[in-house]
């Protein structure tokens, strides 16, 4: 009979180890604010939103809210979420942003007409996190921009109102509108010799933020929906913040302690 | 703000050395649109500018160009501190650029009269000469309009990219085409609707006060007044600097106060001034003149603010002086045919 508590304790200890290792993966697919980056060998089909290789890239839901910029309509944006998937080859980084938009706005031919648009910003110097609103003069952002007129531009910004088009960009874009949703792929070589463009190392994660404009709501400039800072999981890990493991360990120890106390209580009640 | 020798105040925008300005005598405008065409052929002849008239002439009372522009907001609040929101009007409000049957009439021998290819239902000055009032006392006058190159321009303030700016040397308001990203907040922000969106170039454009002409950039290197002024058949425009004490602008605006601003309540402080229209009196049913002004003063006050009363009273007094054979500087300034008096542009070179 004396072996039973010891056996139970051993079983509990084993289950604790298993739970601590497996539970984070089961309960939360990835840490908050992470956009996973799939490592793809070829990349031949990543250029289009429907490319087969995109099935290998899990997407992350990114909530958006009004930018609150000091322009008319700066707090009245209409898009509240985008899904962002990312993949890389040895040479290029690809981002696929998709969002629901019941109106497909692809013209700006009238004074009151504005095109849908999307932009992602990354820090020029990826080792520091710039201010979310277009960076700052000493901490600039590199912006990849596409709009419904099929204009894609690589921009440099050092604060609101400073966006400047970078010439000779290798940015490529491809957009599809299907079933009330935009799917826009933006891609660029990982490395760039210019000081004004981000060079992506695969050694570390890189911050990224997203903005979307709904043309039919006359959104443009700072009248847009924006995300918080997320990060592209380009680095080798760790899988998530260490506190997550610690929390699971504490919870497991608690479970073991409670169980042992209960067993001891039952034994005493029985007078063993 | 700068103080002149005779004590009158001339308000210049901060950081501006001098301010170019124009006075238009509405009593001379015959609505011929020569200024409109001079400007159009010079600056807005195609390339997404078909609907644009940096200079237009509209009939007042009337809807104007773009249609009902006075109802669209923009400018500043009563204190001149906060911008008031403005609206963007659609292209129909400006009127589409009509296609004419030139080809058929000129080259294909058609007997059709020359006319637009489709039935137009709106365009610049579409309500030409309609005016208001009842026979025999109906009334109207023409109102030529360009960008006012305001002292406190709300278009400049509206642009989140600082793509619009006021030139330091002469206060001309320009759009930096390299900075403009076509957001159109300036189009919304200007209460006079004198900034236009070029859908082909995806940038905003506006009257440049013919700065290459006043800078002497022409083939002869000669300083010339803006095209709209020089080409005007009745020569109703005077051009110079607001702060040139010997110039006609300063005298008419600041000394005699007979030139007034259009819609001063927008608080942008325009630098285009108008000599208000001075119409013949009303007629009785039997055709006799009666002691009643044809253009209601309250309508002129709506357009030009309360200063219009004193301006009209002064003009009346000055006219009476001339009728009595006395001298009147105001009337001399307004009737001169000497271009060196009409245009004083090299005074601050």
Residue A185 vs residue A261, higher pLDDT: A185
Q: What's the gap in Å between the CA of B92 and the closest CA on chain A?
A: 9
What's the CA gap between B335 and B248, in Å, rounded? 11
8 Å CB contact between A39 and A165: no
pLDDT (0 to 100) of residue A213: 98
pLDDT tens-digit readout, B6-34: 667 788 999 999 999 999 999 999 999 99
pLDDT tens-digit readout, A107-129: 999 999 999 999 999 999 999 99
pLDDT (0 to 100) of residue A25: 56
Put simply, the answer to whether A110 touches B90 (Cβ < 8 Å) is yes
Chain B residues with beta carbon closer than 8 angstroms to that of A148: none
pLDDT tens-digit readout, B312-331: 999 999 999 999 999 999 99
Put simply, the answer to whether B183 touches A221 (Cβ < 8 Å) is yes
Put simply, the answer to whether B160 touches A161 (Cβ < 8 Å) is yes
pLDDT (0 to 100) of residue B7: 61
pLDDT (0 to 100) of residue A5: 67
Whether the CB of A163 is below 8 Å from some CB of chain B: the reply is yes
pLDDT (0 to 100) of residue B306: 98
Mutate: best of A71, A107, A111, partner B, most B CBs <10 A: A111
Residue A261 vs residue B260, higher pLDDT: B260
For chain B, the maximum distance between any two Cα atoms, rounded to a whole number of angstroms, is 68
Whether the CB of B202 is below 8 Å from some CB of chain A: the reply is yes
Alpha helices by DSSP H, listed for chain B, are: 34-43, 91-94, 102, 154-158, 185-189, 211-214, 227-230, 248-250, 297-304, 307-323, 329-335, 339-342
Who among A71, A111, A162 is closest to B185 (CB)? A71
Q: What is the DSSP string of B224-271?
A: ---HHHHT-TT--EEEEETT-TTSHHHIIIIIS---EESSGGG-S--S
Chain A residues with beta carbon closer than 8 angstroms to that of B89: 111-112
Who among A112, A149, A160 is closest to B160 (CB)? A160
Mutate: best of B184, B187, B195, B200, partner A, most A CBs <10 A: B184
Average the pLDDT over B98-104 and give the result: 93
Mutate: best of A112, A117, A217, partner B, most B CBs <10 A: A112
How many residue pairs bridge chain A and chain B with CB atoms within 8 Å of each other?
47
Q: A254 pLDDT band (50/70/90 cuts)?
A: confident
Ramachandran sector of residue A61 (left: φ over 0; alpha: ψ -120 to 50; beta: rest):
beta
Mutate: best of B156, B181, B193, B200, partner A, most A CBs <10 A: B181
Chain B residues with beta carbon closer than 8 angstroms to that of A221: 160-161, 181, 183, 185
Residue A114 vs residue B46, higher pLDDT: A114
pLDDT (0 to 100) of residue A28: 52
pLDDT tens-digit readout, A52-94: 999 999 999 999 999 999 899 899 999 999 999 999 999 999 9
What's the CA gap between B287 and B329, in Å, rounded? 34
Put simply, the answer to whether B88 touches A163 (Cβ < 8 Å) is no
Who among A111, A163, A218 is closest to B89 (CB)? A111
Q: What's the gap in Å between the CA of A145 and the closest CA on chain B?
A: 13
pLDDT at B349 over 90: no
Q: What's the gap in Å between the CA of A198 and the closest CA on chain B?
A: 23
pLDDT tens-digit readout, B234-256: 999 999 999 999 999 999 999 99
Q: A8 pLDDT band (50/70/90 cuts)?
A: confident
Residue B153: CB partners within 8 Å, gap ≥ 6? B164, B166, B173, B190, B268
| ipTM beyond cut 0.85 | yes
pLDDT (0 to 100) of residue B1: 54
pLDDT (0 to 100) of residue B218: 76
Search chain A and give the residue with CA nearest B158: A71
Angle at B31 between CA B25 and CA B36, to 5 degrees: 90
Residue B41's closest CA among B59, B22, B55? B55
Chain A residues with beta carbon closer than 8 angstroms to that of B181: 163, 221
Mutate: best of B90, B160, B182, B185, partner A, most A CBs <10 A: B160
pLDDT tens-digit readout, B264-313: 999 999 999 999 999 889 999 888 999 999 999 999 999 999 999 999 99
What's the CA gap between A189 and A196, in Å, rounded? 14
What's the CA gap between B330 and B124, in Å, rounded? 33
What's the CA gap between B296 and A129, in Å, rounded? 64
Whether the CB of A111 is below 8 Å from some CB of chain B: the reply is yes
Search chain B and give the residue with CA nearest A220: B183
Put simply, the answer to whether A111 touches B162 (Cβ < 8 Å) is no
8 Å CB contact between B55 and B144: yes
Chain A residues with beta carbon closer than 8 angstroms to that of B187: 111
Task: Report the interhelical angle of B307-323 vs B297-304 (nearest 10°).
Answer: 120
Whether the CB of A72 is below 8 Å from some CB of chain B: the reply is yes
What's the CA gap between A198 and A192, in Å, rounded? 7
pLDDT (0 to 100) of residue B6: 63
Whether the CB of B230 is below 8 Å from some CB of chain A: the reply is no
Alpha helices by DSSP H, listed for A78-182, are: none
Q: What's the gap in Å between the CA of A51 and the closest CA on chain B?
A: 32
pLDDT at A23 over 70: no
């Amino acid at each position: 009979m004396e072996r039973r508590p010891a056996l139970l304790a051993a079983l509990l200890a084993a289950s604790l180890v298993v739970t601590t290792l497996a539970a984070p993966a089961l309960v939360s697919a990835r840490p908050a604010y992470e956009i996973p980056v799939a490592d793809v060998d070829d990349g031949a089909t990543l250029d289009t939103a429907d490319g087969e290789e995109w099935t290998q890239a899990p997407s992350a839901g990114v909530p958006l809210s009004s930018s609150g910029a000091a322009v008319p309509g700066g707090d009245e944006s209409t898009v509240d979420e985008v899904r962002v998937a990312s993949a890389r080859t040895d040479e290029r980084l690809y981002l696929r942003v998709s969002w629901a938009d019941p109106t497909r706005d692809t013209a700006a031919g009238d004074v009151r007409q504005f095109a849908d648009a999307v932009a992602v910003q990354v820090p020029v110097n990826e080792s520091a996190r710039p201010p979310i609103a277009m960076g700052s003069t000493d901490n600039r952002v590199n912006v990849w921009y596409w709009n419904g007129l099929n204009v894609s531009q690589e921009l440099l910004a050092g604060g609101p109102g400073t966006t400047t088009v970078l010439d000779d960009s290798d940015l490529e874009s491809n957009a599809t509108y299907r079933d009330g949703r935009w799917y826009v792929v933006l891609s660029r070589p990982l490395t760039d010799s210019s000081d004004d463009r981000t060079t992506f190392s695969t050694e570390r994660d890189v911050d990224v933020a997203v903005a979307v404009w709904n043309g039919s709501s006359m959104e443009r400039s700072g009248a847009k929906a924006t995300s918080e800072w997320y990060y592209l999981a380009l680095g080798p890990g760790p899988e998530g913040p260490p506190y997550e493991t610690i929390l699971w360990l504490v919870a497991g120890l608690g479970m073991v302690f409670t169980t042992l106390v209960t067993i001891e209580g039952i034994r005493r009640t029985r007078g063993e | 703000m700068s103080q002149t020798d005779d004590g009158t105040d001339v308000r210049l925008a901060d950081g501006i050395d001098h301010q170019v300005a124009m006075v238009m005598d509405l009593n001379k405008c015959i609505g011929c649109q020569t200024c409109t065409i001079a400007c159009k052929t010079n600056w807005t002849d195609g390339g997404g500018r078909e609907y644009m008239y940096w200079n237009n002439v509209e009939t007042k009372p009337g809807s104007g160009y773009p249609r009902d522009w006075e109802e669209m907001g923009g400018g500043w609040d009563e204190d001149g501190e906060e911008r008031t929101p403005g609206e963007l009007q659609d292209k129909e409000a400006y009127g589409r650029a009509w296609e004419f049957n030139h080809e058929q009439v000129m080259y294909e021998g058609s007997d059709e009269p020359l006319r637009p290819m489709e039935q137009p239902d709106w365009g610049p000055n579409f309500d030409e000469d309609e005016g208001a009032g009842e026979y025999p006392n109906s009334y109207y006058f023409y109102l030529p309009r360009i960008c006012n190159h305001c002292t406190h321009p709300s278009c400049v303030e509206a642009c989140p990219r600082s793509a619009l700016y006021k030139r330091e040397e002469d206060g001309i308001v320009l759009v930096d085409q390299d900075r403009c990203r076509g957001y159109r907040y300036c189009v919304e922000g200007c209460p006079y609707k004198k900034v236009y969106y070029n859908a082909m170039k995806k940038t905003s454009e506006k009257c440049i006060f013919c700065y290459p002409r006043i800078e002497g950039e022409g083939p002869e290197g000669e300083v010339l007044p803006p095209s709209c002024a020089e080409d005007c058949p009745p020569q109703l425009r005077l051009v110079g600097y607001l702060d040139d004490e010997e110039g006609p602008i300063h005298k008419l605006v600041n000394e005699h106060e007979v030139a007034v601003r259009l819609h001063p309540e927008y608080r942008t402080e325009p630098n285009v001034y108008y000599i208000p229209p001075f119409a013949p009196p009303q007629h009785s049913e039997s055709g006799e003149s009666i002691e009643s002004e044809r253009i209601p003063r309250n309508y002129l006050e709506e357009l030009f603010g309360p200063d219009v009363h004193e301006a009209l009273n002064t003009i009346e007094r000055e006219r009476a002086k001339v009728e009595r054979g006395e001298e009147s500087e105001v009337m001399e300034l307004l009737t001169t045919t000497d271009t060196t008096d009409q245009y004083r542009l090299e005074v601050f070179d």
